[in-house]
Structure 1
Amino acid sequence: MISETFGVVVRHARRHDGCVLAVRGDLNTASAAAFRAAVRAAVGAHDRLILDLSAMVACDGAGLSALVGCSRMARTHDCDLRLRAVPRFLARHLRLSPAGGAFSIEPAEH
């Protein structure tokens, strides 16, 4: 069952400017498949994908694995995937993990 607090919303989508997916809630075992499906659809339709994580509440091992898998998927499709507004708890995991090198990270928009 997907967490009721999880959601992925397309905020901006233009073929050449890219697509922003706003992730909210918990990215975990229950929501990872839905997250991967949303990213897969965006990667197939855009040259650039930004994952806005400013409303992410939590991310467990399955969520981190989903992020890494989506990074690989984007590279396979020549899609530039970036993380934006990475929450402190996730930034720490990325710094301590070899997976952190898989991402380009942008600051939050002001």
Structure 2
Amino acid sequence: MTILRSVALFALAAVAEIGGAWLVWQGIREHRGLLWVGAGVVALGLYGLVATLQPDANFGRILAAYGGVFVAGSLLWGMVVDGFRPDRFDVTGALVCLVGVAVIMYAPRSA
């Protein structure tokens, strides 16, 4: 159950951070206005909150692992929201990152 909770928190954090960054991008680069930027800032703050809910207490480990989730999630976001089509190298890189996440977060450790 702990791994499922952790994976769900990583997914929620990815939506908050990637979505927040996308909203800021839309507000500034696509000239949609400060309301979009403000919503993005709020979402980015929520990302920071969600990251603290991970069961592991090591900040560096959580953020390092989240980096891999961010890579894969960003490609997925681009596909769903912006019509981006990743090539085989994008997909391979994302899979390597997710394997890294699994090793960092879920490898058995001695107490």
Query: Is TM-score (shorter-chain normalized) higher than 0.5?
Result: no
In the superposition, the TM-score normalised over structure 1's length comes to 0.31
In the superposition, the TM-score normalised over structure 2's length comes to 0.31
- Structure with more helix by fraction: 2
- Structure with more strand by fraction: 1
Q: Which has the larger radius of gyration?
A: 2
